[in-house]
Structures are given as C-alpha cells and as structure tokens.
Amino acid sequence: MARKQQEKSKQTKEELINSAEELFGINGYMATTVAEITTHAGYSKGSFYRHWVSKDKLFLEIVENKLTAYRNSRDQRLDKAKSLAEVMHIIWDFLEVIVEDDNWAKVFLEFTVYASRIQELRDDLSLSQYRLSEKVFANLVRKFIETDYPPEKLGAFNTVLFEGFMVQNALKTGFVSLKDVRETAISLALANGLKKINS
C-alpha cells in the first residue's frame, strides 16, 4: 500500500512540474499562479503544498533538474578534456544548450530579477546547482590554467558575458551573437590562462 502511495505521489509531483514548466513558458513566472498550475495539472492546491512550500521552491527544483540533465552530458566530455581550449568549448556548448531553450531562458531571467530582491532566493541562486557559479567554473578549468590568473575571475567574466547575452537575447537587440560572446569568452580565458610563448 505504501509503495502505491509513493508512486502516486511521485506521479502527482511530475505532473505538477510539467504543468508549471508549460505555464511558465507560456505566461512567464510572475503571471503563473499555484492555482493555475494545479488546475492545469488536474490537482488541488493541497497536492501542490504537499511537495513544495512555495512556487519559488518549485521553480528552483525545476532549475536544478534542468541543469543536472545539461551537466551530465557536459561532465562526460569534460572528463576527457586535455586542454583549456577544449574545456572552454565544452563549457560553452553546455551554455548554448541553455540559450537554445528560448522560453526557458526568458523565464529563468525573469525569476533571477525577481529573486534579486529577496535575500533567501538570492542566496539560493548563488548555489552551484542553480547556475554556473565562479567557483564551479574555476573547478572546471583550474588544472589547465598555466598562469597565476585566478580561475574564479575567469568564471566571473564568463558568467557576466553569458548572462549579459541572455538579457540581450531576451530583448532581441540582435547586435551581438552567441558566437561572438563565445569567441570573446574563450579568447579571454586563453589569453589570461595560458603562458605566452616568446617568439
């Protein structure tokens, strides 16, 4: 009996997540309510609150799930990387996958702006499971850095370039392409992370 209840609870949770993802993509994060998520999935609000204390926590779980799936693919390739250039290309392949999910990228930006005003959510978003933080980036490239340039600083620059591009992309300014940003980020990493060869 307990096993059937667990399976039913898991199914309910998955259906609520799917409903939320769909509605966030259509209406945006702020405009989507818990009542709409539950109604769309065919459940009561009580079902929602058995799994999450708030819409914010549901959203963070969705972000973590998405990034975990992206990272699993990335990490298999990183294990075989032999140079800073190779690692940078793998990281930017991973970031491009996120940008390609256009609706999701916009919803994530919307949530990030909203979360910036709430200390607890700001703290949550700084955790590595929710974004490519400076610390995570530094750990990915550290063993390939040949100079004393801080890998965390490279991570910060890459995060700024990536998140700045996401804002520009959401606004459809179109002046700078993802390819431009990618090439700039990789050039910056190689220029600062590799020793210069004297000619």
The least confident of 53-62, 113-122, 130-139 is 130-139
Q: pTM here? A: 0.80
* pLDDT tens digit sequence for 12-21: 999 999 999 9
Instruction: List C-alpha distances in Å: 28 to 83, 133, 150.
Output: 40, 24, 37
Percent of the chain with pLDDT over 70: 97
Going by pLDDT thresholds of 50, 70 and 90, the confidence category of residue 42 is very high
pLDDT exceeds 60 at position 100: yes
Residue that has been written with the tokens 């975990």 in this structure: 68
User: 132 pLDDT exceeds 70?
Assistant: no
Where are the domains positioned within the chain? 1-51, 54-193
For the chain, the 3-state helix, strand and coil shares in percent, each to the nearest 5, are 75, 0, 25
Identical fold between 1-51 and 54-193: no
In CATH terms, the superfamily for domain 1-51 is Homeodomain-like (1.10.10.60)
Overall average pLDDT of the 77-83 stretch: 90
Question: Quick one: CA dihedral 97, 13, 26, 113, positive or negative?
Answer: negative
Higher pLDDT, 132 or 23: 23
Q: Which residue has the tokens 């550290």?
A: 142
Residues in contact with 34: Cβ distance below 8 Å, sequence separation at least 6, in sequence order: 45, 48, 55
Per CATH, domain 54-193 is 1.10.357.10 = yes
**Dihedral pair phi/psi, residue 53, rounded to 5°:** -85, -15
Structure tokens at 18: 């799917």
Phi, psi of 99 (to 5 degrees): -65, -35
> What six digits make up the tokens of 145?
């850095």
* Between residues 175 and 52, the one the model is more confident about: 52
Please, what's the b/e burial string for 91-125 (b: 16 or more CB within 10 A of its CB; e: otherwise)? bbebbeebeeeeebbbbbbbbbeebeeeeebeebb
